[in-house]
Amino acid sequence: MPLSVVILAAGQGKRMKSDLPKVLQPLAKRPLLAHVLDTARALGPDAVHIVYGHGGEQVRAAFPDPALGWALQAEQLGTGHALMQAMPAIPDEHRVLVLYGDVPLLGATTLIDLLARTAADSLALLSVVLDDPSGYGRVLRDNAGTVFRIVEHKDANRKEQAVREANTGVMAASASALRRWLGRLSNDNAQREYYLTDVVTLAVKDGVKVEAVAAPSPNEVLGVNDRLQLATLESEYRRRRAAALLADGVTLADPLRIDVRGEVECGRDVQLDVNVVLEGRVVLGDRVVVGPGCVLKDATVAADSVLHAYSVLDGAVVGQRCVVGPYARLRPGARLGDGAHVGNFVELKNATLGTGSKANHLTYLGDAEIGSGVNVGAGTITCNYDGVNKWPTTIGDGAFIGSGTMLVAPVTIGPGATIGAGSTITKPAPANALTLERSRQQVVPGWKRPAKATVEERAAQVLSGRPPDGDLK
């Protein structure tokens, strides 16, 4: 049966106290709704529809995928009313799965199991057993264990509130049946809303079997209504990703102090120290060691390389047996050849450092092509930007760049060239030769450094009517 997924994402989230719509609040630096969409797409549906409302244009702009269907809930009249807005776009022969834009940790495996329980003539819903189900609708069963009703917490009596099996709101049924039940919903309740959960009662009245499938873990169906709940989800997400890395054989110095915010591929015997952050797509080869506080975003690090503490890699590619940091920054377009070294407070941007080349201290290399076996001295800067354009610097194999050198691009340093320390190079430096540029050093005999006036001298100047010279010693 064809599958349409409907994600209800119209809520305002007043308790977040934010100008950002609730479904755009970040979890692992991605919107909550993005996580739900990932799960929905993993099911291979024929269509995905999003019901939006508060901050609607902001939500739509965040997800420009033309394959998504959008339905506006202009008035917040309940979950049943929200689903009604999407139904006109769904054919009767489809099966409908209802998800929520603020429930981001629900796994595809759980939903596949739920869908497997959904026959053409049945209604399946996802429940969860909670120690404290306060605020959740309760799943009510008869003496035979058959689901006959869901009651919202505010409408439940004391006996019903004691039930620990709660409704998650996630459900699946045929589109034709849902359309029939939605048309019969009433808002005769404490909230004056059209509850989607009331379709359970209507299904029972129609003699349709209602199948409640319990979620494997309460953490999987956690929703977000305030900052505390968002922080709780962040902790759970972090725990899950750390557990996955450990299961893949990665060594974590402390599983509670690592943030994985993207797709990570690790080789064998990878070691990650505390407070490492991995974003986007990160690939780490065999035996890579990442020191504490490092941040890697869309980065590739080949086998046997070491990243020392507090280094930042963003869009960088690091070869085998490289040493990076501490406190190095590799920006987009940075590439290190095998065996290259980048040391403390060195920054590369759109620059290649060739095989075995080194830039170990206090250096900026931007828009540069640097060959193999090059030594770049401390304090070297490629002056690549003239305020409008970026200009290239090329350094040949085996060159030696002395400390404190300014390479004013566009400029070429030949293979084997040596640049004297403290030079400002504006013209090509020939291969295998020493090039240096320095102003003449001067000594001025008898020169004395200006001295500040003593208290006595300053007082004498004041008494004489002359302005005082300088500050007191």
Q: What is the mean pLDDT of the chain?
A: 94
Q: Do residues 334 and 354 lie in contact, with contact meaning Cβ atoms separated by under 8 Å?
A: no
Residue 473 has pLDDT above 50, yes or no: no
Share of the chain above pLDDT 90, in %: 83
Q: Which of 388-397, 399-408, 433-442, 455-464 has the lowest mean pLDDT?
A: 455-464
pLDDT band at 88 (very low <50, low <70, confident <90, very high): very high
pLDDT at 157 over 80: yes
- For residue 80, give the H/E element and its range: helix 79-86
Where does the pLDDT of residue 127 fall: very low under 50, low under 70, confident under 90, or very high at 90 and above?
very high
Residue 119: band (very low, low, confident or very high) from pLDDT cuts 50, 70, 90: confident
Looking at the predicted structure, is the pLDDT value of residue 133 above 80?
A: yes
232 pLDDT exceeds 90?
A: yes
The pTM for the full model equals 0.87
pLDDT band with cut points at 50, 70 and 90 for residue 226: very high
pLDDT value, residue 470: 55
| pLDDT surpasses 90 at 228 | yes
**What b/e string do you get for 152-171 counting C-beta neighbours within 10 Å, with b at 16 or more?**
bbeebeeeeeebebbbbbbb
Mind listing the pLDDT tens digit for each residue in 265-310?
999 999 999 999 999 999 999 999 999 999 999 999 999 999 999 9
pLDDT value of position 469: 61
Q: Give the integer Cα–Cα distance in Å for 296 and 341.
A: 17
Q: Please report which helix (H) or strand (E) contains residue 113, including its range.
A: helix 108-116
User: Which runs of consecutive H residues, i.e. helices, occur in 221-320?
Assistant: 227-247
Q: Which domains does the chain carry?
A: 3-221 (3.90.550.10), 248-435 (2.160.10.10), 446-473 (no CATH)
Q: How far apart are CA 459 and CA 36, in angstroms?
A: 78
Which residue in 49, 81, 94, 361 is the catalytic one?
361
Contact 69, 89 (CB under 8 A): yes
pLDDT per residue as tens digits for the range 301-336: 999 999 999 999 999 999 999 999 999 999 999 999
- pLDDT, position 467: 67
The gap from C-alpha 123 to its chain's centroid, in whole angstroms, comes to 36
> Mean pLDDT across the stretch 104-125?
90
> Can you tell me the distance from the alpha carbon of 431 to that of 424, in angstroms, rounded to the nearest whole number?
17
> From the centroid of its chain, how far is CA 101?
18
Residue recorded with tokens 């033309």: 66
pLDDT score for 468: 63
Residues 6+ apart with CB under 8 A from 205: none
User: Within a 10 A sphere around the Cβ of 82, how many other Cβ atoms?
Assistant: 26
The pLDDT score that the predictor gives to residue 197 is: 87
Is residue 361 among the annotated active site residues? yes
Q: For 391-411, b where at least 16 C-beta lie within 10 A, e where not — what string?
A: ebbbbbbbbbbbbbbbbbbeb
**Residue 85 confidence (pLDDT) above 90:** yes
Q: Which residue has the higher pLDDT, 166 or 54?
A: 166
pLDDT confidence band for 471 (50 / 70 / 90)? low
